[in-house]
Structure 1
Amino acid sequence: MSNASEIIAKLWTMANKLRGTMNASEYKNYILPFMFYRYLSENQDEYLEKNGLDECYDVTDSEEKEDYLEEISRGIGYAIAPEYTWEQLVSKIENHQIKVRDFQDMLDSFNLNAKRNPVAEADFANVFSDINLGDARLGSNMSERAKVLNDVVLMVNDFTFKDDSGHDILGDVYEWLIGQFAAGAGKKGEEFYTPHEVSQVLAKIVTKDSKVDDTQFRVYDPAMGSGSLLLTVKNELLDGDKSGNVDFYGQELNTTTYNLARMNLMMHGINYRNMNLKRGDTLNADWPFAEREGMQVPLKFDAVVANPPYSAKWDIKDVNREKDTRFKGYGVAPASKADYAFVLHGLYHLDKTGTMAIELPHGVLFRGASEGKIRKNIIDSNLLDTVIGLPANLFYWTNIPTAVLVFKGREARRTKDILFIDASSEFVKGKSHNKLSSENIDKIIETYEKREDAEKYAHVATLDEIKENDYNLNISRYVDTFEAEKVTPLPQLTQELANVKQEIEESTDKLFEMLGELHRTTDEAQEELQKFMEMLKK
């Protein structure tokens, strides 16, 4: 296999043959973790070879083995015992020496060794918890389940995840598979995946004018899903690929999705020391923060990105309007719609020179009541920078159009106006959903950077304009995309009608001549034909 697209095509075909009675969202809990286990095992092999520790796999003394495992854990954050390496797993399967119980022993061993390094424990603990070896859909008995698991392992082992130049593309293949599983999962796909081209729009915006030098770039996603948005931000940074230059923070409520994110980032080469991911309810309690003199101080970020669940319900009973400083001075979002709760949480963690881009349904632009008050307070605080309307049907799970809201830290805002971009009509139509082309994305970003009016596409609205519209941010109020129907001048219309009449008369005469030349027409038929032709001429 020479490139990612070839590997992906074959891997997906093989995966569909193995999937059996499971739907896509469930089957991912087997194929993706085994891809990750292979990555961890081979990464450990490389570490041992690089540090001259290859002999540890041959050690039989228990104490010496313990020392090796401790040393490995200190170096890479985890340790895989010699008997449970990927090479050993494949060998057992090929020699018909493995049982379902062996898979469980392998995972138990990994979880035990993950506790050796306290700094990395949170990154690796229970990362394989979604592999359910007792699931009846794997098979009705232990033998059938073992066969399915064996087939998955051998399928994952069948590929060399490097391109022709030797570049590792395992992370790219893994992320593409996440997208494919999201497409097959329908609405459930929204829990773990944001389409790449949408992620690019957000990532390009928050990294504009940003460069990683001696200072780490810090990015936070409070609803990170599988972590693809965080990785896209890294890819847009000038020096983002340099190890350790970007610090990643993310939080996710769903345990399965949280596991996907941990695996996704690590398979893209992110060191556990730069990965600060947490499973938890972002809105229920504030995170991330630092402890200083017994006080919780919110961490601030150069970039905040998010594509949170749209208009989700949330529990506001325990929200203390005075003590929860995330919402103080702005208001509390209604229990039926948490959109502005995510906005305010993100703003709370945005550095004074940072940028936040968050994707939300259009309702946040114009809904009233408590949301209207929050919107007014944010605008009056001069934090909202840009509103971008995207096309409908970009996602696998909904066909509604969405909007990207861009916020700037107080020191990053240089004006009090707000840029409106209507990109809703520019997309590439697909079979099941629409896509943004590279040209569509480039136009959005160029317009964002220029910050100028563009006919039927963009408008820079003054604060007075916003106030005149009662802080309603509906894009159509600021960007006029109305296409007037073309009016044909009366003289031109009269001439066109005359031309049509003449063409009809000429065609009728020609038809009459042709019919009149027929030799077998009766007198009665000729009479009827004459009446018909006279009627046409009228």
Structure 2
Amino acid sequence: MTDQNENIQGKINNILWQACDTFRGKIDSSIYKDYILVMLFVKYLSDTYKEKLDEYKDRYKGDEERVKRAMSRERFVLDEISTFDYLYSQRNNSEIGMIINKALEHLENENTGKLRGVFRNIDFNSEAILGKSKERNAMLKTLLEDFNKLDLRPSVVGHDDIIGNSYQYMIERFASDAGKKGGEFFTPSMVSELLARLVKPQENDRIYDPTCGSGSLLIRVVNQVPNRKVAVYGQERNGQTHSLALMNMYLHGIDDAKILWGDTLSNPLHLEDGKLMKFQVIVANPPFSLDKWAMGFSGDKADDDKPFKMEASLDPYRRFEWGVPPSSKGDYAFVQHMLYSLAENGRMAVILPHGVLFRGGSEAKIRQQIIEHNLLDAVIGLPQGLFFGTGIPTCVMVFKKNRTRREVLFIDASGEEHYEKGKNQNQLRESDIRKIVETYDAFKVEEKYSYVASIEEIKDNEYNLNIPRYVDTFEEEEIVNMDEVQENITRIKRQIADVEEKMARYLRQLGI
């Protein structure tokens, strides 16, 4: 990125972050982020539309019919009341919240193929969220005035994905601000980069994230392919986050991503001929140890007197035949869904809590099946404190279909030398990612860092995958010289005695 583009990027980011002051202290950031990001999207569409309209008017010398025909072929179609300029002109209107809602509805209707349902989960006229009319109108007026400072025309911002970068910047800031809730919609950028490099997407691959959040992880994977000629699929349970993901894709030039809204476990939506669709690349950062993950399967079986118990037979896609995960920990429910969705020769990388490596019960049985079917390729221990709102230890499990080797690589990248400490959150550096990926690609053993275990060795460990069983990071303590210690103690005692004798002499002189 050039210096000029960096300046533009910084200016946009600063204005966006300042716009958040309109809501700070009044609404939780996990909620007001939707208003900021939707307005950024609308301003981007509007400014792009305006510049194109001026260009065609000039080219066709004011021929309205030709201009209209040309504009209808653009990525997005806007009518006058959908433009940011129109909303800004109405900023003092007592019905401004309703006016914005209608503008968003028009945008959806004019672009049903792309924007259907994108704005359905956001209400600019909500009294419950934005307060009573006077307060709400004041906030929306200020929001429009803040965004009016931005000029997002392509001729101004250039073509270096600046708007997409600003969107990502805001999502990351919101995730940091939202603490634990932030982890629900954002995977830290360098962790996403690690997963993207581990799965090595190729041209024409189908890429899938079953818990895609705001889509940032998917975008990182797409960017690994130079011409971005891949098919992108995702599913997200949270409605607002699903909308963020769609806008994120469009702002990064990924117009054909199929991001669907629904519970991936109880209602997987990416199907072919009634069966789970298959993907060459799968990445995910599912919610850690999700409680009540199976409640979507209860249906008519819900009984007030008898608690619902998930059974493998309740899943029409037969994903849980290796074992039904505990009702309070959905980690292996997501893993099994992904394994059943993995194409032949497919690659898959998932971020999970360390407990999946060693917990017993049904999870141990599932682990055994995964190992015996030779699907696990690597286990990578990550540093603590990488994720928003949680300090629990995490790992990346890498899976492959049709593996020929019968070994698993273990990497312990959790040591202090493998990350940069931050005030609120630790960071993976480029050098840390490169070391992990190079070690994985070479499948090499490095003392106190990585180890290649045979399937037989893992069986001998009763399918326990806890990393310290395989990678010894123990540092021997220096041998203590007891004679030297005794000599130090004797010297200290003499010093104390000298001090006590001086103190007693001073006290005698003072007559005490």
What TM-score do the two structures reach when normalised by structure 2? 0.84
- The answer to whether residue 151 in structure 2 is matched with residue 154 in structure 1 is no
Residue 38 (structure 2) aligns with: 33
Q: Which residue of 2 aligns with 1:310?
A: 288
Q: Which residue does the alignment assign to 2:303?
A: none
Q: Deviations over 1:303-342 (max 9, x none)?
A: 1000011111222557653973442652332322221111
Q: Counterpart of 1:112?
A: 109
Q: How does 1:181-330 map to 2 (within 5 A)?
A: 181-207=174-200, 210-212=201-203, 216-240=204-228, 245-271=229-255, 274-290=256-272, 295-312=273-290, 313-315=292-294, 316-317=297-298, 321=313, 324-327=316-319, 329-330=321-322
- After TM superposition, list the pairs within 5 Å mapping 1:468-483 onto structure 2: 468-483=460-475
For the residues of structure 2 that align with 1:100 and 1:204, how far apart are their CA atoms?
A: 44
Question: Aligned letter for 2:226?
Answer: L
Q: Give the 3-state SS of the residue equivalent to 1:236 in structure 2.
A: coil
Q: Does 1:417 align with 2:407?
A: yes
Q: Give the whole-Å Cα distance in 2 for the aligned partners of 1:256 and 1:57.
A: 41
Aligned AA for 1:314? W
- Offset at 1:21? 1.0
Give runs of aligned pairs for residues 393-412 of structure 1, distance below 5 A: 393-410=385-402
Q: Distance in 1 between matches of 2:470 and 2:439?
A: 15
Aligned-partner Cα distance in 1 for 2:96–2:314: 58
Contact 1:2 1:164 in 2 (8 A): no
What residue ranges of structure 2 are gaps of 5+ in the alignment?
A: 1-5, 300-310
2: CA distance between counterparts of 1:499 and 1:323?
A: 70
Matched with 1:535 is none
Q: In the alignment, what sits opposite 2:84?
A: 86
- 8 Å Cα contact 1:178/1:193 also seen in 2: yes
Aligned identity (percent) is 39
Question: In 2, distance between residues paired with 1:130 and 1:506?
Answer: 73
Shift of 1:527: 13
CA distance in 1, matches of 2:213, 2:510: 80
C-alpha distance in 2 between matches for 1:354 and 1:49:
47
Native 8 Å contact 2:312 2:321 kept in 1: no
Contact between 1:387 and 1:419, CA under 8 Å: does it hold in 2? yes
Asked if structure 1 preserves the Cα contact closer than 8 Å seen for 2:118 and 2:246, the reply is no
SS of 1:2 mapped into structure 2: helix
Question: Distance between the aligned counterparts of 2:370 and 2:460, measured in 1?
Answer: 16
Corresponding position of 2:173: 180
Partners of 1:57 and 1:106 lie apart in 2 by 26
Is 1:376 the counterpart of 2:381? The answer is no
1:211 Cα deviation from its structure 2 partner: 3.8
Alpha carbons of structure 1 residues 88 and 469: separation in structure 2 relative to 1, 3 Å: same
Deviation of 1:436 (Å): 1.5
Contact preservation (8 Å) 2:370, 2:376: yes
Which amino acid counterpart does residue 415 of structure 1 have in structure 2?
R
Alpha-carbon distance in 2 for matches of 1:328, 1:129: 32
Distance in 1 (CA, whole Å) between partners of 2:342 and 2:289 is 22
What is the SS of the residue equivalent to 1:153? helix
- Structure 2: how far apart are the matches of 1:182 and 1:460? 36
- Give the AA of the match of 1:219: I
1:536 alignment counterpart: none
Secondary structure of the residue aligned to 2:324 is coil
CA gap 1:285/1:510 in 2 versus in 1, 3 angstroms: closer
Q: Note closer, same or farther for the CA distance 1:296–1:57 as it changes in structure 2 (3 Å cut).
A: farther
Alignment match, 2:122: 130
TM-aligned CA distance change 1:449 to 1:459, over 3 Å: same
**Structure 2 matches for 1:315-464, cutoff 5 A?**
315=294, 316-317=297-298, 321=313, 324-327=316-319, 329-410=321-402, 413-425=403-415, 426-464=418-456
Aligned residue number for residue 42 of structure 1: 47
Question: What is the deviation of 1:83?
Answer: 3.5
Cα deviation, residue 124, structure 1: 3.2
Say whether the 8 Å CA contact 2:97–2:124 is kept in structure 1: no
TM-score, structure 1 normalization? 0.81
Provide the rounded CA distance (Å) in 1 between the counterparts of 2:62 and 2:43. Answer: 17
Structure 1, residues 194-233: CA drift from partner, whole Å, max 9, x if none? 11111111111012xx443xxx232100000000100111
Please state whether the residue corresponding to 2:313 is helix, strand or coil. coil
SS at match of 1:471: coil
Distance in structure 2 (CA, Å) of the matches to 1:322 and 1:112 = 38
Amino acid at match of 1:105: K
Q: Is the 8 A contact 2:105 2:119 kept in 1?
A: no
Change (3 A) 1:372 1:166: closer
Report SS of the residue matched to 1:461: strand
1:370 and 1:56 map into 2 onto residues whose CA distance is 71
Counterpart contact for 1:388–1:420, Cα < 8 Å: yes
Q: 1:505–1:326: structure 2 CA closer, same or farther, 3 Å change rule?
A: same
- 1:237-266 Cα shifts (integer Å, max 9, x gaps): 3333xxxx1221000011000011011111
Whole-Å separation in 1 of the counterparts to 2:158 and 2:234: 32
Letter in 2 for 1:182: A
Which deviates further from its counterpart, 158-167 or 425-434? Answer: 158-167
Uncovered stretches (5+) of structure 1, i.e. residues with no partner:
529-538
Deviation of 1:418 after TM superposition, in Å, equals 0.4
Please give the alpha-carbon distance, in whole angstroms, between the structure 1 residues aligned to 2:56 and 2:341.
Answer: 40
Aligned CA distance change for structure 1 residues 321 and 46 (closer, same or farther; 3 Å): farther
Q: Distance in 2 between matches of 1:334 and 1:458?
A: 31
The SS at the match of 2:106 is: helix
Deviations 1:420-460 (CA, angstroms, capped at 9, x unpaired): 11111232222222222222222211211121111111110
Cα deviation, residue 103, structure 1: 2.0
Q: How many correspondences in the alignment?
A: 489
Letter aligned with residue 169 of structure 1: I
Structure 2 equivalent of residue 534 of structure 1: none
Letter of the 1:203 partner, please give it: A
Matches of 2:375 and 2:166, distance apart in 1: 38
Q: Distance in 1 between matches of 2:345 and 2:226?
A: 18
**Structure 2 residue 171 is matched with structure 1 residue 171:** no
Between the aligned partners of 2:59 and 2:94, the Cα distance in structure 1 is 25
- Measured in 2, the distance between the counterparts of 1:150 and 1:430 equals 37
What is the CA-CA distance between 1:9 and the residue it aligns to? 3.6
Aligned partners of 1:421 and 1:246: how far apart in 2?
30
Residues of 2 paired with 1:183 and 1:306: CA distance? 19
Distance, in Å, in 2 between the alignment partners of 1:259 and 1:43 is: 20
Aligned Cα root-mean-square deviation (Å): 3.5
